[in-house]
Amino acid sequence: MVIDSMGPHAATGQVLVNCSVFDGTGDSSLSDQAIWIRSDGTVALVGDRQDVMDAAGANPEPTTVVDLAGGYVMPGLINMHVHLGLALPGAMSASLDRDNPAALALQMAGNARRTLLAGVTTARLVGETDYTDFTLRRAIRAGTVPGPRLFTAGHALCCTGGHGHDSDGLEADGADGFRRATREQLRAGADLIKVCVSGGLAGEHEAIETPQLTDDELSAVVTTAHDWRRTVTAHAGPADVIERVLALGVDGIEHGYQLTPEVAAEMARRGTWYVPTITVSRCREFFEEHQVPAWMMERALGAGPRHWESLQHAITAGVRIVLGSDMPPDAPFDGTTATVREMEFMAEAGMTPGDVLRAATSRAAEWLGVSGQIGTLTPGAVGDLLVLDADPAADVSALRTMHAVVQGGRAVRDDRGHWAKGRTA
């Protein structure tokens, strides 16, 4: 898949100087670097300041020099588990009129803008309502509204009464029913397929352990999606269900609340991707603020210890882990955003800073099938980047010091006015 650099670009090329760079691929940041971004929003060169200035100067394109005052630069974040129309049971659902397409579209557009300003320049949507996500994706690509680059599954697929049936799920039954539901998402333009194979945290009449699809139903989804060269990711909690769906060929697991060492090892052997979304079982303040019902809070927080063990099993086994918050990416959480707190939890569970940063950048891009195009600061990649005060490769909590966000070479957040002070080379 070839992607563009999103919406309007900067009027001229840019050379960002006086910075250190984590490029999304290694384990450390390099000091005294410069980044040349072409006017089309793509990275031309990253390296020693004088070498980059010389190369940019030899190009006839007008160039603006932006002094980042010693900041640390890294690729924009890729959040792989996002619901821009999220409405948990309780006050959130009561405040959202899902029967009003305009209201839903405006909420999703507002959430998209806040997500971008929080440093998430690309998001993977894994369940939205009434195909509004596809309209929003087109609007963001056209530059009509600001937001992250979107990869979307359309509706999540579930059985009748299954997980998500009362929110973003599309109900189906039987192999033919799920085959049709999959094709409906593909017809709308889905980049991937999301299927709910067990219960979860937000379904009142289910348990995390409740299996919800038969083998022939899931096989119909996987076969159809793979025929169309789309990946399939599964909302799945219990180990026995995950073990069964791995054998049926799913490409990724969302949540995995109850992984065992044996199932984690099988995921690693198969190269299955894992999005732990560890924040969703550790966010009491968020639940209280949004007045979720007691049954959901009890279930979610009660799942926390076992969920944490699952993440650690996956780390030990060498499972391919990527970042996903499930909570709104920009939601205030423990003094930062849900996205950054998810990364901190991943580090606390045992991942190295480099592993966490790659999970949020280049590894996520790999799963999306766009390696080298996003998630790195290397020649040819889109110029999506963040500017921080501290080194994220030393401690991912450095992301709490973020003060600039650039998407496709265009500064969409510039707290310090670095781009306003830019000078012509």
Instruction: Provide the pLDDT for residue 7.
Output: 59
Q: What pLDDT does 209 receive? A: 87
The three-state secondary structure class of 192 is: strand
Retrieve residue 422's tokens: 């830019």
**Nearest-angstrom CA–CA distance, 179 and 154:** 15
Q: Residue 280 phi/psi, 5° resolution? A: -70, -15
Confidence of residue 48 (pLDDT cuts 50, 70, 90): very high
- Which structural domains are found in the chain, ordered by start? 13-75+376-424 (2.30.40.10), 77-368 (3.20.20.140)
Joined tokens for residue 251 = 């490409």
Which of the pair, 93 or 104, is modelled with greater confidence? 104
- Choice among 62-66, 154-158, 188-192 with the minimum mean pLDDT: 62-66
Instruction: Report H helices in 66-131.
Output: 91-95, 101-117
For residue 212, which phi and psi values (nearest 5 degrees)?
-130, -5
Mean pLDDT score, 103-124: 96
Average pLDDT over residues 206-211: 86
The pLDDT value given to residue 2: 47
pLDDT in the model for residue 218: 98
Map residue 225 onto helix, strand or coil. Answer: helix
- Residues 247-305 have pLDDT tens digits of 999 999 999 999 999 999 999 999 999 999 999 999 998 888 888 899 998 998 999 99
Distance CA(270)–CA(273), nearest Å, equals 9
Banded model confidence at residue 336, pLDDT cuts 50, 70, 90: very high
Strand partners, 54: none
Strand residue runs (E) in 136-251:
149-152, 156-159, 169-172, 192-196, 231-238
The residue type at 215: D
Q: Kindly report the CA angle at 63 between 59 and 65, in degrees rounded to 5?
A: 130
Alpha-helical runs (H) found in 228-317: 239-247, 261-270, 284-289, 294-302, 304-317
H-helix or E-strand spanning residue 188: helix 174-188
Q: Is 296 helix (H, G, I), strand (E, B) or coil?
A: helix
8 Å CB contact between 215 and 222: no
Cα separation of 331 and 111, whole Å? Answer: 10
> What is the pLDDT at residue 5?
55
What is the reported pTM? 0.95
pLDDT in tens, 160-207: 999 888 788 999 999 999 999 999 999 999 999 999 999 988 788 888
**6 falls in which pLDDT band (50, 70, 90)?**
low
Distance between CA atoms of residues 369 and 390, nearest Å:
30
pLDDT over 70 percentage in the chain: 96
Question: pLDDT higher for 152 or 94?
Answer: 152
- From CA 297, how far away is CA 291, in angstroms rounded? 9
